Homo-oligomer: A and B are copies of this chain.
Amino acid sequence: MNRDDAVDLDRTDPLAPLRDLFELPEGTIYLDGNSLGALPRTTAGRVAEVVTQEWGRGLIESWNTASWISLPQRVGDKVARLVGAGQGEVVVADSTSLNVYKVLASALSIASVDSPERRVVVSERSNFPTDLYIASSLCRERGYELVLVDSPDEISGLLDRTAVLMLTEVNYRTGYLHSMASVTALAHEHGVLAVWDLCHSAGAVPVDLVGAEADFAIGCGYKFLNGGPGSPAFLWVNPRHVDRFEQPLSGWMGHAAPFEMSPGYRPAEGVSRYLSGTPAVIGISALECGVDTVLAAEAYGGLPALREKSLALTRLFADLVGSRLPGFVIESPMDDARRGSQLSLSTGSAASGSASAGAAYAIVQALIERGVVGDFRAGPADGTQPDILRFGVTPLYTRYADIWDAVDHLVAVMDNDEWRDERFWTRGAVT
């Protein structure tokens, strides 16, 4: 395998035209779409239209004339097509963190009736922190114990006393991909509700919420859905649960008839009751442009085709690291069935001696200076897991040659000791 082979793969890649849906800066190899997806070509124009025409000229009437009021459901229906949910089952609203609060609260309400003796919520210690922070808050509030496992193998032994199992389908650090169907089935066998975080899977991995019979799901708008920085998030509730309970963040947009202005709350039928405040019109409109980029792939085989390319890209990355940078440790599963759309590395023996602590951060910075944008994720403070260099692949726009070039730059960063330059060791507010 050499660079020409990679260029040939791009030349024959049936998904290659999808890259034209994005504005990508010249000279940058962007491998961080799992943290912030790239800008779709349509977004700036659509946002300008919303601001200048709908808001500026339409003013308050645009709630009706531009259908602002139904944006959460309309864009939710588009997201639904990407995560195996039915039409009318998804809404776009708020942030991932707040949506975790809503669905976990609902799951606990159900469990408190269906299995009141169970007082445990299970998740993974390596789950994305905000999920754990929110779960911890709710568990304290409602008298549940949050039990964190260090390996998926520990889950089954806990299920008989568990009320809710809350997992992220693709781990943000390693890219480990759970089998949603089999884990959910296992949970249900033991009478446990399954809440899934799709932040690193929606738009990158085929998801089948209905097929898996999952109970609740939430996900992020600004990663593989390309919705822009701080984009609104989404949530899905299995129809069998949706009308059983109110969710606690019961703002007026979740009311059955918000404009009755009644002092008493009456929840909307269905998933609309998971809305809270006034919809973020500009943000949801930008998200719609992002979701449309993934839906555009339907003409090219859709998520299965994206998934196939994603796996080929991360496999190529791993092979090249294995042959050219043997000191690095691949922290992502190399079983295709267990790997999301990223490749994570730790420095292993590649950054030796006294400079090894913190090297992962400096290497990521040195790569950024060369135009290769991945990111860094700190290992936990207890030192049980290493710091990570994280490289997301977005098959809508990532090319095989990008992977070849990224590894080539990484070789240069290491061979030239560029990462030892002290300017790469100063951390920004956001790492």
Give me the interface of A with B, judged by CB distance under 8 Å: 23, 25, 28, 30, 32, 35-36, 38-39, 43-44, 47-48, 51-52, 54-57, 59-64, 68-70, 94-98, 101, 125-130, 132-134, 136-138, 141, 148, 173, 222, 228-233, 246, 248-255, 258-265, 276-284, 286, 368, 373, 375, 377-378, 380-381, 428-431
A8 to nearest B CB, angstroms?
28
Q: Give the shortest distance, in Å, between A146 (CB) and chain B (any CB).
A: 10
Q: Which of B25, B94, B130 is in CB contact (< 8 Å) with A252? A: B130
Contacts of A38 in B (CB 8 A): 56, 59
| Contact among B59, B134, B251, B262 with A249 in the assembled complex (CB-CB below 8 Å) | B134
16 contacts between A and B (CB under 8 A): A25-B57, A36-B59, A36-B60, A43-B51, A44-B51, A60-B375, A61-B368, A63-B229, A94-B98, A97-B252, A133-B250, A133-B254, A138-B248, A141-B141, A141-B248, A229-B281
What is the CA–CA distance of A252 and B220 in the complex, to the nearest angstrom? 14
Q: Is the CB of A277 within 8 A of B51?
A: no
**Which residues of the other chain, B, contact A51 by a CB distance below 8 angstroms?**
39, 43-44, 47, 228, 286
Q: Are A229 and B98 in contact (CB under 8 A)?
A: no
User: Is the beta-carbon distance between B60 and A259 smaller than 8 angstroms?
Assistant: no
Taking a contact as CB atoms closer than 8 A, the residue among B95, B136, B249 that contacts A97 in the complex is B249
Which residues does chain B contribute within 8 Å of A94, judged by CB atoms?
Answer: 94-95, 98, 277
For A284, list chain B residues within 8 Å (CB): 230
A277→B235 CA distance, assembly (Å): 14
Quick one: closest B residue to A123, CB to CB?
B263
**B281 and A249 within 8 A (CB):** no
Q: Which residue of B lies closest to A95 (CB)?
A: B277
Q: How far is the CA of A390 from the CA of B346 in the complex (A)?
A: 62
B381 in contact with A230 (CB, 8 Å): no
A333→B312 CA distance, assembly (Å)? 70
CA distance A284 to B230 in the complex (A): 10
- Whether A64 contacts B276 by the Cβ 8 Å rule is no
- On whether the beta carbons of A250 and B129 are closer than 8 Å, the reply is no
Which of chain B's residues has its CB closest to A40's CB?
B56
Known: A260-B378, A261-B378. 14 other contacts (CB 8 A): A23-B56, A25-B59, A32-B59, A44-B51, A47-B51, A51-B286, A95-B280, A129-B263, A129-B265, A133-B255, A173-B261, A228-B281, A280-B280, A280-B283
With a CB–CB cut-off of 8 A, which chain B residues contact A68?
A: 229-230, 430
Given A278-B222, A278-B230, CB of A39 within 8 Å of CB of B63: no
* B residues in contact with A229, CB < 8 Å: 54-55, 62-63, 68, 278-279, 281-282
**Inter-chain contact B39/A251, CB cutoff 8 Å:** no
